[in-house]
Structure 1
């Protein structure tokens, strides 16, 4: 019985990494001092002089003096696009699978139903995505090449504050 308890305790503590910073796969968008978006990706590490991001299979190191603003999470357009894609494709598939009508006063072909489902589903899904973007709670950090502001951002990401 004791062996089972030791094994369970070992498995629960196996993934613990002492003194490693954990950023919870936080997605950030980095803007330069002029306000133009220069980089985006998930935070790997934050030092006093740079931020290291992982984006599309590459590791990017962004020096502190080039960082103007950091915004967390994805933009609202991402929510709208995903909503439109999911809604449009779902209703288009339903329209396609429902097949042709057998006749009568108003009858539609499967292609008509698919097109109607694609258009109406995209509009409805985009609307739902826009509503969810309102409640997104993304953060906005002004760094402007300041080491103290970057340290404050690092502490916030690590939830130290």
Structure 2
């Protein structure tokens, strides 16, 4: 019985050190070449000794270390503003349409008018709050420049 348990444990743990690769870190990164042009973005699927594999919108992209100039974590600042504006506009448009009362004695408006005004005001407020959230974003930038020592340091930082 002991030998059976040992054999099963050995078989199940064979993949633990089979590859020198880090997988599924769930960190979103933007990858740039040496000229500062974005060459990839997405969540880190795996990191090996020579490449970075990203996953975005159902597709996997492999970027070789010798082509990486720098890596930035998290989404760009514009993403915060866009998400805030979209969320605010949608929420306030729904509320504006839902509270419409065309027969009111004062401030009578239709559902369409309420939705339009709600989208305008909510989008503006959401964009402002998204802009403020940029201050607390705390994204990091790593210069790699194809250097394997810097690549190893980046891998260590991602693991933590």
TM-score range, shorter chain: 0.7 to 0.9
Could you tell me which runs of 5 or more consecutive residues in structure 2 were left unpaired when the two chains were aligned. 1-14
RMSD: 1.9
- Structure 2 distance, partners of 1:89, 1:101, is 21
2:153 aligned residue: 152
Structure 1 unpaired stretches of 5+: 1-16
Deviations, residues 6-39 of structure 1 (Å, cap 9, x unaligned): xxxxxxxxxxx84573553001000000001110
TM-score of the superposed pair, with normalisation by structure 2: 0.82
Counterpart for residue 8 of structure 2: none
Q: Deviations over 1:29-76 (max 9, x none)?
A: 000000011100111222222111112222211111210010001111
- Measure, in 1, the Cα distance between the counterparts of 2:25 and 2:63: 19
Corresponding residue for residue 100 of structure 1: 101
Given that 1:96 and 1:114 are in contact with CA atoms closer than 8 Å, whether structure 2 keeps it comes out as yes
4+ residue segments displaced more than 6 Å: none
Residue in 2 that maps onto 1:83: 84
Query: 1:101 Cα shift?
Result: 3.4
Asked if 2 retains the 8 angstrom alpha-carbon contact of 1:96 and 1:111, the reply is: yes
8 Å contact 1:23–1:157 — kept in the other structure? no
CA distance in 2, matches of 1:156, 1:105: 60
Bigger mean CA deviation after superposition, 94-103 or 123-132 = 94-103
Total equivalences in the alignment = 144
